[in-house]
Amino acid sequence: MADLARTLKESWSLVEEHQEKVAGYFYARIFLSHPDLRDLFPVQMDLQRSRLLHAIVTAVQTLDDPEKFDDYLRGLGRDHRKFHVEPEHYEVVGGALIESMRTYAGEQWSIEYDQAWADAYAVIAARMLAGADADPNPPYWYAEVVAHERRSQDIAVLTVQPLQPLEFRAGQYLSIETPKYQPRLWRTYSIANAPRRDNTLDFHVRAIGAGWVSSALVRRLAIGDMIKLAAPMGSMTLDRRSTRDAVFIAGGTGLAPIKSLLEELTRYNRTRWVHVFFGARNREDLYDLADLNRLAARYPWLSVVTACSDDPTFPGEQGNISEVVARYGPWSDHDFFVSGSGQMVKSTLKTLAELQVPSIRIKYDSFSDVD
């Protein structure tokens, strides 16, 4: 498996700088050979292209960790049921993928690379199909919006009620579609609460620029609207066996899964100190600080530190949240949970590495800035 992973990464490096073109060619091949598949995809394909490649590259990068590889692909297979993917579609996708990379790699592409990707894709497809086949749940759930609160110009907190029970673990995320506003366009959002008896789910959403789905969720969604929810995914969950103190680091609406984990901890934690670092550009973007402070006042084991990177008059910490975390500590014997934008997570992981925090103690979720 190690040799296969090395070959795949080597061949991917030949096309990585052309990945947008590779993705465009990939979809063109699929739609030309199977026009009927076009109806499974959204009208706006820009983000869909990047997400496909991200999923494939992530799968390849987890080859060296069989358990993580298997869990990721089974989850991906369950998630893809929302697209009404059939087993025969996997063969179409595999052929188009290899042809696309071969086209853009040019003369450096070899028969060895062809075979490596064919072998890897066969394993990827088999794991995804196994995950889809083993899932007794529907391809997606309909849910009614029962609460919608604007917390700032660009941020909303919404609560939905699935029409059927939806099982998940605190810290997980799922995909959302708004059939009324952007049909067939799915975007991932973390659930902001632990499982509840009434089955409701909270989401924290920031409208990003001209983001199709995020703008609809923040600015157009209304109480009574119906949305679709896909299968929960993600492994940023609590290990109840751990006795180490924990550090939660959130940037902006990356607070959502942190709130979910905190809610779970309030139900059983008596022995672990928990430190929350919540950062944003300005005080308005610290949209859920009042609730965090209420939790800290109620639970003696919880402390909250806030920071703004672009608000000189903010009375709390100043600077990027990763810089703030480095001022505290020591952190050598803590579990870490990191959630926020790609840039924020990358910066925080770099800081934690400099602080010599073992990577095995770090779980993280990184979210796109173009939703």
What pLDDT digit, counting tens, does each position of 338-351 carry?
A: 999 989 999 999 99
Query: For the chain, what is the total number of helices (H) and then of strands (E)?
Result: 11, 12
Q: What is the pLDDT of residue 219?
A: 94
Which H helix or E strand runs over 313?
A: none
User: How far is 272 from 262, CA to CA, in rounded Å?
Assistant: 12
The type of residue at 10 is E
Q: What is the pLDDT of residue 56?
A: 72
pTM above 0.75, yes or no: yes
Torsion of CA 81, 84, 86, 90, to 10 degrees: -70
- Residue with the larger pLDDT of the pair 55 and 186: 186
Q: Are 205 and 214 in contact (CB under 8 A)?
A: yes
The type of residue at 301 is W
Q: What is the pLDDT of residue 371?
A: 47
Q: What is the pLDDT of residue 184?
A: 80
Q: What is the pLDDT of residue 23?
A: 86
Nearest in space to 85 (alpha carbons), one of 133, 43, 45, 51: 133
pLDDT tens, residue by residue, 94-145: 999 999 999 999 899 999 999 999 998 999 899 999 999 999 989 999 999 9
Q: What is the pLDDT of residue 369?
A: 46
Instruction: Concatenate the DSSP letters of all residues of 331-366 into one string.
Output: -TTEEEEEEEEHHHHHHHHHHHHHTT--GGGEEEEE
Residue 152 CB contacts under 8 Å (≥ 6 apart), including other chains: 284, 285, 287
pLDDT surpassing 50 at residue 370: no
Hey, what are 216's tokens? 């609809």
Q: How far is CA 227 from CA 6, 140, 185, 193, 199, in A?
A: 41, 10, 11, 18, 15
pLDDT tens, residue by residue, 247-258: 999 999 999 999
Q: What is the pLDDT of residue 37?
A: 82
User: How far is 236 from 238, CA to CA, in rounded Å?
Assistant: 7
Torsion of CA 229, 230, 234, 238, to 10 degrees: 50
Q: In this structure, what are the phi and psi dihedrals at residue 260, rounded to the nearest 5 degrees?
A: -60, -45
Q: Are 308 and 316 in contact (CB under 8 A)?
A: yes
